[in-house]
Amino acid sequence: MTYPKIKTLGELKKAKYKSKSIKAEIRDNLVQKLKAGETVFTGIHGYENSVIPDLERALLAGHNINFLGLRGQAKTRLARQMTALLDEYIPVIEGSEINDDPLNPISKQGQQIIAEQGDDSPVTWIHREERYFEKLATPDVSIADLIGDVDPIKAANLKLSYADEASIHFGMIPRAHRSIFVINELPDLQARIQVALFNILQEGDVQIRGFKLRLPLDLQFVFTANPEDYTNRGSIVTPLKDRIGSQILTHYPKDRKTARKITEQEAKLREAQSELVYIPDPALELLEQIAFEARDNEYIDAKSGVSTRLSISALENLVSTAERRALLSGAKQTSVRLLDFMGVIPAITGKVELVYEGEQEGAGIVAENLIGAAVKSIFPEYFPPLEDLKSGDAKNPYKALIDWFGQGKTLDMLFDWSDSEYRAELEGIGPLKQLIEAHQAKADAKEQYFLMELVLWALAEHARLNKERLEEGFNFADLFSSYLRGGEI
């Protein structure tokens, strides 16, 4: 039987339809999915053994939920995916302002329709996607917005007392009856507005303009909050916090593998870009490491957090940097270079909050230093570590390369090099090519060029070579000769 074909209350009764509370509905559907081994929350990586089990336990318990975590931790996405746990359709009284259940109307309007028309009362069906409501908490949100207020024009037209329920214009929460209602950034909601939620959460009482209206709303509340807000902008008042059944702590990806899954899933790369630009695997590892470095950097405010959106925007910028270069040179295909990471700096500076010392240093310099720190972190995964090697040691695998620069040779790596120029210059450094053959011979040919750059940048980060920013790129030179040029020796 297809329920949406039912058009009246009488037909609904004949079909033996049974109403459920939204929490029972969510629980029953979750139980079925868990028994069937289905993945309930899809496309959310890194939460398989932490947040998602906590969320499923809370829903089985019938709790209202607060997701507590820094920005960019998929709090709202989790809430939106909860609609998959609702029945596909539910019946409502046609014309009802608050999705009244035909078998159990709670509004005066719904009760009047049933009283006047009985089994002929018209029934309509709403889809699960229409049962999701979301509100961003801001200081200007009022009780009238959320709960409702007396409508004097309505009262005058219908010649009603202000104490009559029919004179009320319902706010967002009553209109979300039998739905999921999400309030994002809950601490930003004024304390007096939070107080208005007490009885709705616990008893279902709504109070408007001084008179009490018994309206047993059926809602699944989901709140999100950022720990930073507790000190910077506001807090969740204790009695409200006490009425929220489960507070679930979210977190950032704990490893690069998980972070890469998220970035590659969320980045909006066009088909034309993917065909034109090849991204070496080490470049993707480096890109993810930047976010991990940022979360531990002394110049960046850890309380504010570093969103996963940093890596997503950075990947989009990285690809577009290589794409732009290819378009200007007329190349049919190109590969991401380490030099292209200068193009992700705008994505970094827009996603981090700097402490005072970071502001003094400058956002651009901090971002460039993060790239350098990421180079140092991933380098030992591809080559022998540099930390414990002495420059003069004959067994040092980098000695020949350092000596090559020590002979007064330099390398200017330019942003607008064509692919042939880029490869020729790197291949022209004999010791660098030999180093790749010794340690990364099995790497893809396109990746080997990126790894050549990685070696040069790592030597510079470990103060074995000098790296100087030019207007059109970077210069790599012997460290000692650069001191002489600078007049330091």
* pLDDT tens per residue across span 319-331: 999 999 999 999 9
The pLDDT value recorded for residue 190 is 87
Average pLDDT, integer, range 56-62? 97
CB 399 within 8 A of CB 478: no
The pLDDT value recorded for residue 317 is 97
Residue 9: pLDDT band with limits 50, 70, 90: very high
Measure the CA–CA gap between 16 and 107, rounded to whole angstroms: 23
- What CATH architecture is 3-249? 3-Layer(aba) Sandwich (3.40)
Average pLDDT, integer, range 30-52? 95
The pLDDT value recorded for residue 200 is 80
Q: pLDDT (tens digit, 9 = 90+) per residue, 409-430?
A: 999 999 999 999 999 999 999 9
Could you give the angle at which helices 281-296 and 445-461 cross, rounded to 10 degrees?
30
For the chain, give the percent of residues with pLDDT over 90. Answer: 71
CA–chain centroid gap for 186, Å, is 18
The domain spans of the chain are 3-249, 253-381, 384-489
For the chain, give the percent of residues with pLDDT over 70. Answer: 89
Tally of residues, the chain: 489
Phi first, then psi: what are they for 24, rounded to 5°?
A: -70, -40
Tell how strand 473-478 and strand 411-414 pair up: antiparallel
Q: Which CATH class is domain 253-381?
A: mainly alpha
Q: What is the pTM of this model?
A: 0.87
Average pLDDT, integer, range 366-389? 92
One-character DSSP codes across 78-108: HHHHGGGGS-SEEEEETT-TT--BTTB--SH
Q: pLDDT (tens digit, 9 = 90+) per residue, 335-372?
A: 999 999 999 999 999 899 999 898 999 999 999 999 99
Measure the CA–CA gap between 261 and 387, rounded to whole angstroms: 31
Residue 1: pLDDT band with limits 50, 70, 90: very low
The pLDDT value recorded for residue 37 is 94
The pLDDT value recorded for residue 488 is 44
Q: Which residues, 6+ apart, have CB-to-CB distance to 63 below 8 Å?
A: 244, 245, 246
Measure the CA–CA gap between 447 and 322, rounded to whole angstroms: 15
Least Cα distance to 98 among 13, 173, 154 occurs for 173
pLDDT at 148 over 80: no
Average pLDDT, integer, range 49-68? 96
Average pLDDT, integer, range 87-93? 95
pLDDT at 157 over 80: no
Measure the CA–CA gap between 340 and 336, rounded to whole angstroms: 6
pLDDT at 442 over 80: yes
Which structure tokens are listed for 93? 């009284």
The pLDDT value recorded for residue 247 is 95
pLDDT at 481 over 70: no
The pLDDT value recorded for residue 479 is 82
Average pLDDT, integer, range 8-29? 95
Q: pLDDT (tens digit, 9 = 90+) per residue, 237-264?
A: 888 888 899 999 999 999 999 999 999 9
Task: Return mean pLDDT, the chain.
Answer: 89
CB 4 within 8 A of CB 125: yes
pLDDT at 199 over 50: yes
